[in-house]
Amino acid sequence: MPLYESTFIARQDISTQEVENLTKQFSQIVEDNGGKVLKKEYWGLRNLAYPIRKNRKGHYVMLALDTPPAVLKEMERNLKIHDDILRNVSIRVEEIQDGPSFMMNNRGDYQESRYSAANSNDEE
């Protein structure tokens, strides 16, 4: 079955516990329909590079999946409807990296202060 990486951003106002619940909920959709969740990563509450629906920060969650495409589509459909999810992107990958992805080590940070929506009001 094809491998996917699906990342979604949840609103900044909800708590980490609720993000956990959301993650479980969507993982459940995948697993109930014959897919497998290979990896679950929570990147934390990050600054967004631009405001999305007036939010300047968001909870990032990444799931690595091994599912048939129809199941992925179903999960995406649910992600789209859900009010607490701001954005989601799923891409197909050739292989899933072992271990924590770049975001969990430092590679995922670069010049956050430059490119974050939360800081943009301070300039000029």
Partner 1 sequence: MAKENVQMDDGAAGKRVFFRRRRGCPLEGTPDTEINYKNLKLIARFISEGGRILPSRITSVSAKRQRQVKKQIKIARNLALLPFVAK
Angle at 96 between CA 91 and CA 99, to 5 degrees: 130
124 binds partner 1 (CB under 8 A): yes
Give CA–CA dist 63/42, Å, rounded. Answer: 9
Query: Any contact of residue 121 with partner 1 (CB under 8 A)?
Result: no
- For residue 123, give Cα distances in angstroms to 22, 88, 113: 35, 29, 11
Binding status of residue 87 toward partner 1 by CB under 8 A: yes
58 binds partner 1 (CB under 8 A): yes
Q: What residue has token string 């909870």? A: 59
* Shortest Cβ 34–partner 1 spacing (Å): 27
Are 30 and 65 in contact by the 8 Å Cβ rule? The answer is yes
71: which residues sit within 8 A by CB, 6+ positions away? Answer: 29, 30, 33, 34, 35
Binder of partner 1 out of 17, 50, 81, 83 (CB under 8 A): 50
Q: In this chain, which of 52, 74, 82, 84 binds partner 1, going by CB under 8 A? A: 52
Residue 115 touching partner 1 (CB under 8 A): yes
Regarding 91 and contact with partner 1 (CB under 8 A), the answer is: yes
Which residues of the chain form contacts with partner 1 (CB under 8 A)? 7, 9, 46, 48-50, 52, 58, 60, 62, 87, 89, 91, 95, 97, 101-103, 106-111, 114-115, 117, 120, 123-124
